[in-house]
Chains A and B, each alone.
Chain A
Amino acid sequence: MSLIRVGVYASNFAEAITAAGELLVEAGHVKPEYVSAMVRVVEELGPYIVIAEGIALAHASPGDLVSKNSISLVVLENAVDFGSGKMVKAVFAMAATDHSAHIDALGELATLLSDQEFLNTVLNASDTAHIASRLTLVLGE
């Protein structure tokens, strides 16, 4: 599962988001500019994308920079500060071709992350296979 990577080193939020975004670039789902746009969102608006304790959902606006609806995940070696002391250990990067796309996957992800046990599984993941099976519905093929 190439859309998940664990044990990733990042020294700040920009590197963490970029690491997650690069998985989407490598898969051919987004253009590199999409990754810098995701970083810019946090630079401009702050850490509001930290949707759960230790978890960020990075994304930019849907549109031309996206060729396929997709979500990737990196689990960091060490948590990094996304601003206001909000420490993040895992970053999901989401890309959608338009505003109505991918809503189901988003709902599925939200449901999964509201389960504390699953949250802990993601935050402490040391191998991709372990979390990949639970994320199949979210990440798609």
Chain B
Amino acid sequence: MRIVAVCGLGYGTSVILKNNIEKALKSLDYEGATVEAVGVAEARQLGAMANIVVTTEELVPLLEGLNAEIIAIRHVIDIAEITKALEKALL
């Protein structure tokens, strides 16, 4: 399972998102997933190999056409929101 956290530049927002995805996976007892933080441009390439792309609502239109399941998060700080979305996608 390859999860990609995407923000505009691949730094800042996506790093917080990556941290919180890892915390969410832990609380779901989900093992064997890798999580990377990347920017939109990189995501368009990497996304082809990712299973799940997690990003913020505003960036979803920029990621259209990717094969991966795209999860849109309102606030990347919100671990509860991320956990709920991942639970739905993974379990």
Chain A residues contacting B77 (CB-CB under 8 Å) are 51-52, 55, 110, 113-114
**Interface residue count on the B side (C-beta < 8 Å):** 23
Pair B9/A59 contact, Cβ less than 8 Å: yes
Q: Which residues of B contact A28 (CB under 8 A)?
A: none
Contact assessment for A99 and B12 in the assembled complex, using a CB-CB cutoff below 8 Å: no
Q: How far is the CA of A63 from the CA of B19 in the complex (A)?
A: 22
Does A35 count as interface, using CB distance less than 8 angstroms? no
Nearest CB to that of A119 among chain B residues?
A: B77
Contacting residues, chain A, for B66 (C-beta < 8 A): none
Number of interface residues of A (CB under 8 A): 29
Instruction: Tell whether, in the assembled complex, residue B76 and residue A47 are in contact, meaning their CB atoms are under 8 Å apart.
Output: no
- Of A94, A96, A110, most buried by chain B (CB within 10 Å of CB) is A110
Q: Kindly state whether residue B7 has any CB partner on chain A within 8 Å.
A: yes
Name the residue of chain A whose CB is nearest to the CB of B7: A48
Also in contact, A50 and B75, with CB within 8 A (given A103-B15, A110-B16)? yes
What are 13 residue pairs bridging A and B, where the CB atoms are less than 8 Å apart in the complex?
A: A44-B8, A46-B59, A48-B7, A49-B13, A50-B75, A51-B13, A51-B16, A57-B12, A59-B9, A106-B12, A106-B15, A114-B77, A114-B78
